[in-house]
Structure 1
Amino acid sequence: MSTNRSSQEDFNPGSYILDPLQASPYKPLDKSKSEIRLLEILNVSEKATICQLHIVSLPSAPVFTALSYVWGDPRVTENIFLGGNLIAVTINLAAALKSVKKHWQKVFPERDPSLFRLWVDAICVNQENNDEKSSQVQQMSSIYSSAELVIAWLGVESEKLSLAFDTCEILTREFEKAVPFPDQPPNSADIQWLSAYPSLCEVDDPDLEVTFDFQKNRRWAAFDHLLCLSYWERIWIAQECILAERLLLACPLRFMDYNTASKAAEAMFRFQESPLYVRPNFISSEVWSVFSEESFKLHLILGVDSVRLFFRYLRSSSPQQYSNSQELPLLVKADADMLQILAKMVEHKHATNPKDYIYGMLSLSGLEIVPDYSNLTPPYVAFVDYVKALLKTLHKEMKNSTDANKIYPLFFLYQAGIGFLNYPQGCPTWAPNYSAISESHIHDISSGTSINSSTTYYPEGLQIIKMRIKRFRLQPTVKERWLLLANKLGQASSEEETVAWIVDNFWTENEMSNNHFNRTTLLEYARQNFESVDERDIEEQVRLTVGLANTLRVFETESGHIGIGPLGSKPGDAVCLLCGSGVPVVLRIIDNHYVHVGTCFVSNFMDGQATWKEMGQTILQKFEIC
């Protein structure tokens, strides 16, 4: 059998004989040469997909395409031929292998199809070799940034995705023409162009049962489908998209430049920030919600886009450094701002292996962590290694910074604590448990806050100022409004029961867990009873109250300060200011040592409003947190 076929025509899969004694297709890779494997797709037909592997050295600048995709259910597979071996791949990957080469040919029509080479992790990395997996993970930055093209495979739903791509192209093209100043709040003139596109304004199927009314329009439903794909939620996908120099979104029938999707999302984000209230006659009431409410999950694409821009800035502003043993650029070293952005982005991602929450971002963070996929190592060890590497990196940055007080190396504490998350035995409570975070919701109380101190936090320990929680109470502004509402409805309650009463009477558990839960009934009561209050303010009070009931507690300290802290806080817990943290934290003594409960907000302690000397009767001490 020839291994250098330039054409797939007349290829007979039956002539490709499977040898049960054939050696493994995975020949060893030379780490010193930064070797990787590339896949050549010899033939694709209904009967078989036939491929072979080639070993290349990354410093030799091979020309290749990288695939970005969701693995899918590992129990549902399809066989392909790989170098004389029959191997199982997930059906999503099998579908991608049948389509990506033809997309590549459309992008590069002048090239010989036999030159197409593809890097795909599930095939090019020996998944049975943990040492190789760990080594290849460290080269992910070079692999995806070196690829001339990255194809993001979104799945096999061609009709719906094709319509979504088409919709993105319309939105991007028309908004760019209609909105000369996109930084300004939107107005009705920005959407006049829609009158020429009835397919974006009218209901296609009024009797269709949908979750949200705008989904009765096929185009907006397809756009929503694109934004909600599980693809955007996978941890590895984030760095693959961010590292890509040129990124295409693809399904079996067609592909689209990623920038088109991101620009469409940007355009719609303007309406989520500043909704329109006057509906023009040419837009149906069902469709109007896409311009008057938060209808789409835009943060997944926009989050990737913002980090892509930030990462390119870091890469362009940093001189290219090279190691002695190879000609590949070293990883970009993320600064404190970038590390915080990445940490926040991880909250919205999912991973099959908990260790991937850390290893899946190494190409972007540049932290000095050696991936360890050994089954003997508990997943939380990766979280601990992350904190160690983070503190080491930020300590160096503080030493070299002209304004070290703007760097808060303990920022990760808001993503940790037994008051928010469950912890496996042996895992320190200060370590971010990302596998639990992805299934929960944590408020970033620290956003935009700071507590400055010139005291060195590292490596001697943590200096603190401490006071204790006395009791819990409702935030006064929220409490007063909801007690008034309860009284007017004949449902007067004690302040401890007010939030519970609101939740019990107006939302089911499913509605509370849905970002788009129906607030109509409660808002109608609020409008009738708070005539002087702006409707947007009522909406905000509803949002804050439900968020408060779900994840936070309002407390009062023994010194009379009011704060908002973790739901798992208890009377007697200590509220502390830690050197290196931008916000106070809640700590608890268990078995003669402190554990981290979570970060908190305390009035007058935020944004530099309190200094070490202004804290009054406080305790300054050093100790360890387990």
Structure 2
Amino acid sequence: MTFKHLYQTPLDMSKPEIRLLELIEDKDAIRCKLHTVTFDSTLRFAALSYVWGDAADTKHIEIDGIQIPVSRSLSNALKHVRKYWAYEFPDRDQSKFRIWVDAVCINQSDKAERTEQVKLMRAIYSSADLVLGWLGADDNEKIITAICTITAIGNVFRGARWEVEKLKSLQWLKRCGLVDEPACNKYWQSLNYLGGLAYWQRIWILQENILASTLFYITPNMSIEYSTLMNVYTMFNILSQTLIDERANKPDFVPTHIWYMFNPPRYTGFISLGNILRFGTANILYSRKTKEDDAEEQRQLDINLAQYASLLQATDPRDHVYGLLGLSSLPIKPDYTKNVREVYVSYCRAILDAQDGKTKKDLVFLQDGGAGVFDDSLDLPSWAPQLPLRASGVPTLVFDEKLSLIDIMPGLPPPRIFDSVLSLAGIQLQTLKSVGGPPEIQNLQKGGNTFDWIQDYIRRIPFYATKIPSIWALFLVVMRMHRLVTDTFTMLLLQNFIARLNLDIPGSERTQSGIPRYYQTPEIDGLSVMMCLDGGNNPQLSMCISPLLGLKELDRSTTSSGMVQQSTTRSFTDHHEALEARSLEVSSRLIYTLKRNYNTRIFETDVGYLGLGPQGCRVGDVICLVDGYQDLVLLRKRGEQFVYVGPCMGYGISDVYIKRRVELREVLLEAFDIV
């Protein structure tokens, strides 16, 4: 006996009808009844939000006398849901408890029923009296530790009235025992474990969380309310952004690996924070959308919500699109008779159609596509988003160039999708002449697979087109920086980078005056950098060490005259120890940042520019700026059409550079048909 024997009578969708599960026994064995009911406002029920888990790891439960195989995850969840309903509604008749569980309340083998029930998902989860998010029974101790840690942090935040100014010193970490190594590692590991749960990575679960009016995350022994969890993680994010914006220095009492959770290199950081906070930020977008009266702003919020399709996983590739329809008003109807290619092309067309009337279009789906970024197993157009691969962790490339072709060349024809062809306007800028390897630090150093490529480039082109040393340009490319910022920390990173590569940099003539210029960066935390700018291609960089290095403020007191007195103590044994600590921080940041380049390739163009592109880029690929996308892209000629390779960056190919070439008519507007 299997699932198909449960559904002798199809649901009447004209009413409409749904099925609800009644738990008869939930101890050692699970026994249930399935009830078909008319879905209306009088229903009182809970809804389960859970991960199906390993399909091969099953347990049998009894439904209407039939033994049905379900995942161990679902079986475990059903043993605990009733007690949380009783906790939330102690005055209700517990014998009337009913719960909606998608796997058994929908006939999954009936495509028509599945399609119609998916249309009801928004109403089901928003109407449920209680939504229970099952976090699982495995490693329950770690989840309990995480929940206790979050509760303790929340109490501290409430005591500080959630004020950033009172919290950004991070002194509260001491009160929570979160900087006392090695004991504190248990707490951080539990938070990382919680954020790494598969629960936070499923597309349907995001929708279920947002639509729920009352939501508890549950384990066999403990629960935490949605608002408690999200408030703490939101404050984490605000603190992190504040520290980044203020370019804060690491307090001596905070271990480096914990500091990186608050102030990480760009596009890296506290994974637990990102995975869980994603649900909170999506909820904010949806809340704004429901209150927004302006139709154009509503459509933009629909597009923003649609982008979560590439961040979360689904068993059926079509559910990356269908799993968010309860949150958006995009004109897409779930239809499981369509193949993946049809669904994804319709999804992209809906995003374009939502921008009708806007001068500037945003082809947001391009950041999740590209034949050079992803291996296509779904037979999609090269420009279409590879949502399952992206959601599984294959990183996309975002360079934040903030370019706009329509600002440079107004009056462009809007992008259009005809069948499976994306037609848009653009210009060709440069062509790839040579491609190296992934610019991670171990590949760039002597013996690495990209060292010889870099050494050859520096010898041939010691001075870059933008009139900076080519070794500096290389640093900016691999760090994904669009301009040189001569602040202290950047120059310390540059100095460390040059020393690590130990390249043979050819000598060069000084400036005509022959008088070098010296510039010292502002002192930060006892360190600064002296630059000797002599017009050559290898300026000398020297680290300057302050006598105050290693000192920290102990207290402040005010004298009778109103002067502030400050006493300090050395936080390290000596200058040498302090310098080692600062140097380690710089070195760690450099290595950590360059790790994200593992899926990229460094390249040289036909005019000697350096850039970064996807791992599948090739000699002959063309750097283009296309209407509707803010980064440069690589296109590959295929007959009369083009293949979209992926986003890229080329140091020096700025909006100023592009405008100049357009004004000189060195580049002309073209229509690209991308397949």
| Length-normalised TM-score, structure 1 | 0.75
In 2, Cα distance between the equivalents of 1:285 and 1:467? 42
Counterpart selection for 1:163 from 138, 145, 149 = 145
Q: Which residue is equivalent to 1:445?
A: 399
> Contact 2:435/2:618 (CA < 8 Å) preserved in 1?
no
In 2, Cα distance between the equivalents of 1:82 and 1:291? 48
Q: Identify if the C-alpha distance between structure 1 residues 555 and 288 changes in structure 2 by more than 3 Å, giving closer, same or farther.
A: closer
Residue 360 of structure 1 deviates from its aligned partner by 1.6
Counterpart selection for 1:303 from 278, 282, 291 = 278
Aligned pairs for 1:272-311 (under 5 A) are 274=243, 277-280=250-253, 294=269, 296-311=271-286
In 1, Cα distance between the equivalents of 2:664 and 2:137? 60
Question: What amino acid is the match of 1:237?
Answer: I
Question: What amino acid is the match of 1:314?
Answer: K
Q: Which residue is equivalent to 2:480?
A: none
Q: Which residue is equivalent to 2:353?
A: 392
Residue 426 of structure 1 deviates from its aligned partner by 3.9
Higher strand residue share:
2
Counterpart selection for 2:389 from 436, 446, 451 = 436
Identity within the alignment, %: 27
**Structure of greater Rg:** 2
Q: Which residue is equivalent to 1:95?
A: 76
Answer yes or no: is 1:546 the counterpart of 2:595: yes
In 2, Cα distance between the equivalents of 1:542 and 1:615? 41
In 1, Cα distance between the equivalents of 2:286 and 2:2? 47
Answer yes or no: is 1:256 the counterpart of 2:224: yes
> Contact 2:431/2:620 (CA < 8 Å) preserved in 1?
yes
Q: Which residue is equivalent to 1:364?
A: 327
Residue 245 of structure 1 deviates from its aligned partner by 2.2
In 2, Cα distance between the equivalents of 1:68 and 1:147? 11
Deviations 1:363-408 (A, max 9, x none): 223322233334xx5433322221122222222xxx1xxxx34441
Answer yes or no: is 1:414 the counterpart of 2:361: no
Q: Which residue is equivalent to 1:247?
A: 215
Question: What amino acid is the match of 1:429?
Answer: S
Deviations 1:299-331 (A, max 9, x none): 0111111110111111122499xxxxxxxxxxx
Q: Which residue is equivalent to 1:593?
A: 641
Residue 184 of structure 1 deviates from its aligned partner by 7.6
Q: Which residue is equivalent to 2:200?
A: 232
In 2, Cα distance between the equivalents of 1:83 and 1:265? 43
Q: Identify if the C-alpha distance between structure 1 residues 319 and 415 changes in structure 2 by more than 3 Å, giving closer, same or farther.
A: closer
In 2, Cα distance between the equivalents of 1:236 and 1:479? 36
Answer yes or no: is 1:456 the counterpart of 2:413: yes
In 2, Cα distance between the equivalents of 1:367 and 1:355? 15
Q: Which residue is equivalent to 1:573?
A: 621
Deviations 1:275-295 (A, max 9, x none): 763344xx8999888678755
Q: Secondary structure at the match of 2:51?
A: coil
Question: What amino acid is the match of 1:578?
Answer: V
> Contact 1:239/1:364 (CA < 8 Å) preserved in 2?
yes
Q: Which residue is equivalent to 1:39?
A: 21
Q: Which residue is equivalent to 1:27?
A: 9
Q: Secondary structure at the match of 1:33?
A: coil
Instruction: Specify every segment of 5 or more residues in structure 2 that has no aligned partner in the other structure, as ranges.
Output: 459-492, 503-539, 545-581
Q: Secondary structure at the match of 1:445?
A: coil
> Contact 1:469/1:570 (CA < 8 Å) preserved in 2?
no
Question: What amino acid is the match of 1:317?
Answer: E
> Contact 1:169/1:260 (CA < 8 Å) preserved in 2?
yes
Q: Identify if the C-alpha distance between structure 1 residues 544 and 228 changes in structure 2 by more than 3 Å, giving closer, same or farther.
A: closer
Counterpart selection for 1:583 from 607, 621, 631 = 631
Q: Identify if the C-alpha distance between structure 1 residues 170 and 498 changes in structure 2 by more than 3 Å, giving closer, same or farther.
A: farther
In 1, Cα distance between the equivalents of 2:674 and 2:451? 43
In 1, Cα distance between the equivalents of 2:329 and 2:656? 31
* Number of aligned residue pairs: 542
Question: What amino acid is the match of 1:465?
Answer: I
In 2, Cα distance between the equivalents of 1:69 and 1:236? 9
In 2, Cα distance between the equivalents of 1:286 and 1:574? 40
Question: What amino acid is the match of 1:362?
Answer: L
Deviates more, 1:361-370 or 1:23-32: 23-32
Q: Which residue is equivalent to 1:495?
A: 454
Deviations 1:469-504 (A, max 9, x none): 1424789xx999998x759x9x974416899xxxxx
Instruction: Specify every segment of 5 or more residues in structure 1 that has no aligned partner in the other structure, as ranges.
Output: 1-18, 205-213, 321-331, 500-518
> Contact 1:465/1:619 (CA < 8 Å) preserved in 2?
yes
> Contact 1:367/1:393 (CA < 8 Å) preserved in 2?
yes
Question: What amino acid is the match of 1:436?
Answer: L
> Once superposed, what is the RMSD of the aligned Cα atoms?
4.1
Q: Secondary structure at the match of 2:272?
A: coil
Aligned pairs for 1:340-351 (under 5 A) are 340=304, 342-343=306-307, 345-351=308-314
> Contact 1:49/1:98 (CA < 8 Å) preserved in 2?
no
> Contact 2:361/2:414 (CA < 8 Å) preserved in 1?
no
Deviates more, 1:604-613 or 1:572-581: 604-613
Question: What amino acid is the match of 1:309?
Answer: I
Residue 552 of structure 1 deviates from its aligned partner by 4.0
Q: Identify if the C-alpha distance between structure 1 residues 316 and 146 changes in structure 2 by more than 3 Å, giving closer, same or farther.
A: farther
